[in-house]
Amino acid sequence: MPELPEVETVRGGLAPVLEGHRLTRVEARRPDLRFPLPPNFVQVLTGATVTRVVRRAKYLLASLDREDTLVMHLGMSGRFEISNPMKGAPEGVERPGEFHYAPDRDPKHAHIVFETEAGSRVTYYDPRRFGYMALVNSATLHLHPWFAGLGPEPLSEDFSAARLHGAFRDRKQGPKTLLLDQRIVAGLGNIYVCEALNRARISPFKAAGGISKPRLEKLVADIRAVLTEAIAAGGSTLRDFAQTDGALGYFQHRFRVYDREGEPCFNDPCVGVIARRVQAGRSTFYCPVCQK
């Protein structure tokens, strides 16, 4: 499933072609994705102007000049592709231009199409249909079950070692399990938690309540660093993820532990070998030598 860097990369691709533009045509080629689309989905969106595109956790939020916000989740294999360059894009805004698309652009997987008055077309593909879209009242968006219990964004000032220390206090679960809890921190997933814990040299399995504040300070810094680097690299492409221009992310070439079982640890001067262990149904990659 795309994690925070992948979703942020998609947001960055959608914003220039949607923000400030009116949706002149919306086509829903099926009545549902993972969940049924709202019955008024096409009617509400057609003619609406998108005022802002932001990310919250792993959700994309397109605010409208109407009372609703379009909420979008990529699920396992959802992706957006943009065709037709923007006409008259503001100075400083990169035009989509010509694209080199990732494989599998089967038309039967193109489920939702948005067209703007500027001539851009945004198509949502989802072979597995685990993604979903909904219209949520903007004034009460923060109260919606999808958002009400979310923790702070890991790249925001609200995410700190002090806050993490409070969330970890007296907890016997490992830090990886707790960092994947979206109520503690929003948007983190399996890949980047493994990567950050390795950089911080913290065991994924050690009782989180026993981790000192100085080590949590480093962990917070490493979480921010790995996410920032992944966003700059366009995210990670493992199976289905691609950016809105069809390009694949490249951060998987910088993985220090994830999917590197049996290979040497990159932490200097560690001589350990990356191991894999199933934890809460997910593969945890770590170095048993330096992650204590």
> Catalytic pick from 2, 5, 96, 204?
2
Q: Burial code of 36-67, b = ≥16 C-beta within 10 A, e = fewer? A: ebbeebeebbeebbbbebebbbbbbbbbbeee
Active site residue 2: yes
Active site residue 282: yes
- Is the separation of the CB atoms in 255 and 226 below 8 Å? no
> Catalytic pick from 66, 163, 215, 282?
282
Active site residue 85: no
> Catalytic pick from 11, 58, 79, 199?
58
> Catalytic pick from 3, 81, 153, 195?
3
C-alpha dihedral sign at 152, 157, 158, 162: positive
Active site residue 31: no
Q: From the centroid of its chain, how far is CA 221?
A: 19
Catalytic positions are: 2-3, 58, 282
